Amino acid sequence: MKGILLFGHGARNSDWARPFGQIRQLIMAADETALVEMGFLELMRPTFIEGIDTLVGQGATEIVVVPIFIAGGGHVNKDLPPLAADAMARHAGLAIRLAQPVGEAPSVLAAMADYALQVMPAE
Protein backbone atom coordinates (compact mmCIF):
# COMPACT_ATOMS: atom_id res chain seq x y z
CA MET A 1 0.00 0.00 0.00
CA LYS A 2 1.03 3.54 -0.71
CA GLY A 3 1.47 6.27 1.84
CA ILE A 4 2.28 9.95 2.08
CA LEU A 5 4.29 11.55 4.87
CA LEU A 6 3.90 15.33 5.12
CA PHE A 7 7.29 16.37 6.46
CA GLY A 8 7.46 19.69 8.28
CA HIS A 9 9.88 21.69 10.34
CA GLY A 10 7.79 22.01 13.49
CA ALA A 11 7.36 25.00 15.79
CA ARG A 12 6.72 25.77 19.44
CA ASN A 13 3.10 26.81 18.92
CA SER A 14 0.75 23.93 18.10
CA ASP A 15 -1.31 26.21 15.79
CA TRP A 16 1.62 26.11 13.40
CA ALA A 17 0.67 22.54 12.42
CA ARG A 18 -2.83 23.53 11.29
CA PRO A 19 -2.01 23.72 7.54
CA PHE A 20 -0.59 20.20 7.77
CA GLY A 21 -3.89 18.90 9.12
CA GLN A 22 -5.76 20.73 6.36
CA ILE A 23 -3.52 19.32 3.62
CA ARG A 24 -4.00 15.85 5.10
CA GLN A 25 -7.80 16.24 5.07
CA LEU A 26 -7.77 17.49 1.47
CA ILE A 27 -5.69 14.51 0.33
CA MET A 28 -7.94 12.03 2.13
CA ALA A 29 -11.03 13.71 0.67
CA ALA A 30 -9.58 13.35 -2.84
CA ASP A 31 -8.40 9.76 -2.38
CA GLU A 32 -10.14 7.69 0.29
CA THR A 33 -7.51 4.97 0.01
CA ALA A 34 -4.58 7.29 0.69
CA LEU A 35 -2.64 6.75 3.89
CA VAL A 36 -1.45 10.19 5.00
CA GLU A 37 0.42 11.16 8.14
CA MET A 38 2.63 14.03 9.18
CA GLY A 39 6.07 13.97 10.72
CA PHE A 40 8.10 16.86 12.09
CA LEU A 41 11.81 17.50 12.27
CA GLU A 42 11.73 19.16 15.68
CA LEU A 43 9.63 20.87 18.33
CA MET A 44 6.46 18.93 17.45
CA ARG A 45 5.10 15.43 17.33
CA PRO A 46 4.62 13.11 15.64
CA THR A 47 8.29 13.03 14.73
CA PHE A 48 9.37 11.87 11.28
CA ILE A 49 9.90 8.30 12.46
CA GLU A 50 6.64 8.25 14.42
CA GLY A 51 4.80 9.28 11.25
CA ILE A 52 6.58 6.57 9.26
CA ASP A 53 5.84 3.96 11.92
CA THR A 54 2.14 4.85 11.82
CA LEU A 55 2.03 4.52 8.03
CA VAL A 56 3.82 1.17 8.15
CA GLY A 57 1.44 0.02 10.89
CA GLN A 58 -1.43 0.85 8.53
CA GLY A 59 0.14 -1.33 5.87
CA ALA A 60 2.19 1.15 3.82
CA THR A 61 5.02 -0.45 1.87
CA GLU A 62 5.81 2.53 -0.38
CA ILE A 63 5.96 6.01 1.11
CA VAL A 64 6.56 9.32 -0.56
CA VAL A 65 7.83 12.01 1.79
CA VAL A 66 6.50 15.42 0.76
CA PRO A 67 8.49 18.26 2.32
CA ILE A 68 6.05 21.00 3.32
CA PHE A 69 8.76 23.62 2.99
CA ILE A 70 8.95 26.80 0.92
CA ALA A 71 12.25 25.67 -0.60
CA GLY A 72 14.95 23.08 -0.27
CA GLY A 73 17.48 24.15 2.35
CA GLY A 74 19.52 22.34 4.95
CA HIS A 75 16.47 20.71 6.56
CA VAL A 76 15.33 19.16 3.30
CA ASN A 77 18.71 18.46 1.71
CA LYS A 78 20.81 17.48 4.73
CA ASP A 79 18.51 16.50 7.62
CA LEU A 80 15.89 14.54 5.69
CA PRO A 81 17.92 11.90 3.78
CA PRO A 82 19.44 10.33 6.93
CA LEU A 83 15.97 10.23 8.55
CA ALA A 84 14.69 8.34 5.51
CA ALA A 85 17.69 6.00 5.59
CA ASP A 86 17.08 5.22 9.27
CA ALA A 87 13.40 4.52 8.57
CA MET A 88 14.27 2.08 5.78
CA ALA A 89 16.80 0.35 8.02
CA ARG A 90 14.09 0.02 10.68
CA HIS A 91 11.41 -1.35 8.35
CA ALA A 92 12.67 -4.10 6.03
CA GLY A 93 11.06 -3.93 2.60
CA LEU A 94 9.85 -0.36 2.98
CA ALA A 95 10.46 1.91 -0.03
CA ILE A 96 10.74 5.65 0.64
CA ARG A 97 10.97 8.34 -2.01
CA LEU A 98 11.69 12.00 -1.29
CA ALA A 99 9.64 14.47 -3.33
CA GLN A 100 10.66 18.04 -4.10
CA PRO A 101 9.48 20.59 -1.53
CA VAL A 102 5.94 21.84 -2.17
CA GLY A 103 7.20 25.41 -2.57
CA GLU A 104 9.14 24.39 -5.67
CA ALA A 105 6.15 22.79 -7.45
CA PRO A 106 4.98 25.01 -10.35
CA SER A 107 1.30 24.63 -9.39
CA VAL A 108 2.03 25.72 -5.81
CA LEU A 109 4.14 28.65 -6.99
CA ALA A 110 1.25 29.72 -9.22
CA ALA A 111 -1.18 29.51 -6.30
CA MET A 112 1.16 31.61 -4.13
CA ALA A 113 1.46 34.26 -6.85
CA ASP A 114 -2.34 34.33 -7.29
CA TYR A 115 -2.78 34.74 -3.55
CA ALA A 116 -0.35 37.68 -3.50
CA LEU A 117 -2.28 39.33 -6.34
CA GLN A 118 -5.56 38.81 -4.45
CA VAL A 119 -4.26 40.55 -1.33
CA MET A 120 -2.56 43.39 -3.23
CA PRO A 121 -4.12 46.78 -2.37
CA ALA A 122 -6.69 47.98 -4.91
CA GLU A 123 -5.74 51.08 -6.90
The number of residues in the chain equals 123
Q: Are 14 and 44 in contact (CB under 8 A)?
A: yes
- 81 forms part of the interface with a second copy (CB under 8 A): no
- 46 forms part of the interface with a second copy (CB under 8 A): no
The residue within the footprint of a second copy, chosen from 4, 41, 52, 84 (CB under 8 A), is 4
The residue within the footprint of a second copy, chosen from 57, 59, 73, 81 (CB under 8 A), is 73
Q: One of 4, 6, 9, 33 is an active-site residue; which one?
A: 9
- Interface size with a second copy, residues (CB under 8 A): 56
Sheet containing 95-98: order of strands: 35-40, 2-8, 62-67, 95-98
Shortest Å, Cβ 105 to a second copy: 4
- 93 forms part of the interface with a second copy (CB under 8 A): no
What are the backbone angles phi and psi of residue 98, rounded to the nearest 5°?
Answer: -105, 115
Cβ neighbors of 75 (< 8 A, separation 6 or more) are: 9, 41, 67, 69
- 102 forms part of the interface with a second copy (CB under 8 A): yes
Active-site amino acid positions = 9
